[in-house]
């Protein structure tokens, strides 16, 4: 994919209340492991969101820019209130968030200061 494939028109305008129905939290990656059964290269992430959400799992197609060692201990943003999704033999419980680079590969959303796990995006 080139840069043209990354650009897309802005989504339709929504009310703030609609945005607040999407629960985006910061979590810390406890474990990152290969996911060879995935159709596209991916990692299986185990992420701690603190209480009351707890530890959740996510399949993330982020193998281009990250290694498991780089991911473990890292803070990530994820949608925690989508329905779980079965991806092959793995149940992905949260959607780890990122932006596409110029080639369409995922670059994770991060925070630039230390924040407690479980904090909600607003």
pLDDT tens column, 41-71: 999 999 999 999 999 999 999 999 999 999 9
Is residue 1 scored above 60 in pLDDT? no
Range 96-105 contact pairs with CB under 8 angstroms and sequence separation of 24 or more: 96/45, 96/47, 96/58, 96/60, 96/62, 97/24, 98/60, 98/62, 100/1, 100/6, 101/6, 101/65, 102/2, 102/3, 102/6, 103/1, 103/2, 103/64, 104/1, 104/5, 104/6, 105/64, 105/65
Please give the pLDDT value at position 6. Answer: 56
Check residues 115 and 7 and name the one with the higher pLDDT. 115
Is residue 107 scored above 90 in pLDDT? yes
May I ask the CATH class of domain 14-108? mainly beta
Domain ranges of the chain: 14-108
Is residue 22 scored above 80 in pLDDT? yes
pLDDT 10s digits, 72-86: 999 999 999 999 999
Please give the pLDDT value at position 8. Answer: 82
pLDDT band at 4 (very low <50, low <70, confident <90, very high): very low
Q: Is the pTM of this model over 0.75?
A: yes
């Amino acid at each position: 994919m080139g840069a043209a494939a990354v650009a897309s028109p802005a989504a339709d305008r929504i009310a703030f209340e609609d945005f607040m129905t999407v629960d985006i939290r910061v979590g810390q990656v406890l474990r990152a492991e290969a996911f060879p059964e995935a159709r596209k290269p991916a990692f299986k992430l185990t992420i701690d969101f603190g209480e009351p959400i707890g530890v959740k799992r996510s399949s993330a197609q982020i193998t281009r820019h990250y290694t498991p060692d780089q991911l473990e201990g890292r803070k990530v943003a994820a949608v925690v209130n989508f329905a779980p999704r079965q991806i092959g033999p793995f149940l992905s419980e949260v959607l780890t968030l990122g932006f596409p680079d110029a080639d369409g590969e995922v670059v994770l959303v991060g925070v630039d200061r230390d924040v407690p796990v479980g904090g909600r995006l607003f």
